[in-house]
Amino acid sequence: MTSPAPDAAIQKGRKLIHLYRRGVGGERQNAGRLLLAHLRTHDLTLYDLDSSLPVSQEVAALDSWRETASLMTRLGTPEQDEVLTQLVDAEDLTETELRKLLDAVDLNKLAEVRADGWAYTHAADPEHYRQAARTIRPADVLAQRGSLAQRLQNATVSAHFRLMHPERQIRANGPVQQRFVLGLVRGLTGQPGETTETGVRAYLDVEQLSRLRALLSQYGGQAEDAALRAAEQFGRELGEAG
């Protein structure tokens, strides 16, 4: 656009874009022709009508338009609070858009609003979820998948688990016993453990830790025998098949 266009021309162009997007068949084609003629007549580009669109008069560019991209252009404007409520649940954000949105969102406020629903889903205390959410960093959110709100929820669930289940260092001698302890951790908590140089790192509450120690004491000696029998059976199956 070489000079500021009258508001009327801008508004008419936006109406034609709306008709193009909503139209089908001949109606859509006709709206496209009218839009192109309007752009040329008033020396406008699509960007002049919607800053989420390219600086171009190619009407075909509308076919790849995303509402999310349009909403993103309103960040940093007086309309930001209004669009944030939609953007936090958008599932088609690019990585760049997500990072930009993350800079604009107050994670603590979002968690404060959503915590009751999250806690209800998992039969947990909402205040514990809010407490867990306050420990979350942007990197924790980016490590998840889905919309920003879904990522924050998943990160909060993980943080809540760690909050309620302190980190434990469980000694385990050798790879077989380590695998045995990993299996116990998964079975008792539903969460994975992590092998260390001296054993296994895991998150368990007092009751789970007590149960794990009892099972390890009672059955730890049998884990080696079970592993040896499994290895023998594996070899036998290979031999019979070969």
Phi, psi of 165 (to 5 degrees): -130, 95
Among candidates 184, 176, 186, which has minimal Cα distance to 229? 176
- Domain count for the chain: 3
Residue 39 lies in a domain: yes
- Please identify, among 65, 92, 109, the residue that sits at the C-terminal boundary of a domain: 65
Residue 192 lies in a domain: yes
Residue 71 lies in a domain: no
Residue 70 lies in a domain: no
Q: What is the mean pLDDT of residues 104-122?
A: 93
Q: What is the mean pLDDT of residues 172-188?
A: 95
Q: Considering only residues 170 and 242, tell me which one the structure prediction assigns the higher pLDDT.
A: 170
- Which domain, by its residues, includes 102? 80-163
Residue 21 lies in a domain: yes
Angle 148-164/107-121 helices, nearest 10 degrees? 70
Task: Kindly state whether residues 117 and 188 are assigned to the same domain.
Answer: no
Please name the residues in contact with 101: beta carbons below 8 A apart, sequence gap of 6 or more. 72, 75, 84, 87, 88, 93, 148
Residue 236 lies in a domain: yes
- Please identify, among 116, 131, 163, the residue that sits at the C-terminal boundary of a domain: 163
Given this model, what pLDDT does residue 129 score?
94
Task: Kindly state whether residues 183 and 151 are assigned to the same domain.
Answer: no
Given this model, what pLDDT does residue 5 score?
55
| pLDDT at 234 exceeding the cut of 90 | yes
C-alpha distance from residue 38 to each of 5, 63, 195, 205 (Å): 12, 18, 66, 68
Task: Kindly state whether residues 33 and 18 are assigned to the same domain.
Answer: yes
Q: What is the mean pLDDT of residues 142-170?
A: 93
Q: Considering only residues 227 and 6, tell me which one the structure prediction assigns the higher pLDDT.
A: 227
Structure confidence by residue, pLDDT tens digits, 44-92: 999 999 887 889 999 988 887 787 888 898 899 998 999 999 999 999 9
Residue 107 lies in a domain: yes
Given this model, what pLDDT does residue 50 score?
85
Residue 36 lies in a domain: yes
- Please identify, among 128, 163, 198, the residue that sits at the C-terminal boundary of a domain: 163
Structure confidence by residue, pLDDT tens digits, 192-218: 899 999 999 999 999 999 999 999 999
